[in-house]
Amino acid sequence: MHRLDGGDAAVAERLKTAQMGRIRVLVAKPGLDGHDRGAKVVARALRDAGLEVIYAGLRQTPEMIVETALSEDVQVIGLSVLSGAHCELVSRVRELLDAEGLKQIRLVVGGTIPDADADRLRKQGVAAVFQPGASLEQIVAEVRKAGGLRA
């Protein structure tokens, strides 16, 4: 786990960002897919836009993602999947979040996701789906919206 804003004073930082009303977002890659170019670019863009980003990185099981979301107290989880396994993996994360009573945590998903699957994911309550070609500007705005703050 790597905290983008740097490590030791994590708790103090969290209090501070909470007071400042900054959105905390977890960026993770569920499943076996190792293509992390997109996740890294997005994490950096969110950070540059002033959000607090927790980058969990590769090979996160849905269980690990939910646990991190809980302990890091995030408002938004961004999942990146380029392996075609998005429907299975994203549904599982949503189920686990709901089972933990974390309905308030919003999910956004990006990757090689065909239109039909994007619709399906939105119906399952995914706040935003970013298909190839989505702009960073659009992603930042949607994550802010999902986090409950105005862009």
Answer yes or no: are the C-beta atoms of 113 and 86 closer than 8 Å.
yes
| Closest to 142 in 3D by CA, of 57, 5, 4, 23 | 23
Binding other proteins (rule: CB under 8 A), the pick from 16, 71, 88, 122 is: 88
DSSP string, 4-35: TT-STTHHHHHHHHHHHTPPEEEEEEESS---
By CB under 8 A, tell whether 71 contacts other proteins: no
Q: Smallest distance, Å, CB 24 to other proteins?
A: 15
Q: Smallest distance, Å, CB 38 to other proteins?
A: 9
- Residues near other proteins (CB under 8 A): 2, 4, 31-37, 40-41, 43-45, 47, 53, 55-58, 61, 83-85, 87-89, 92, 112, 114-115, 131-133, 135-137
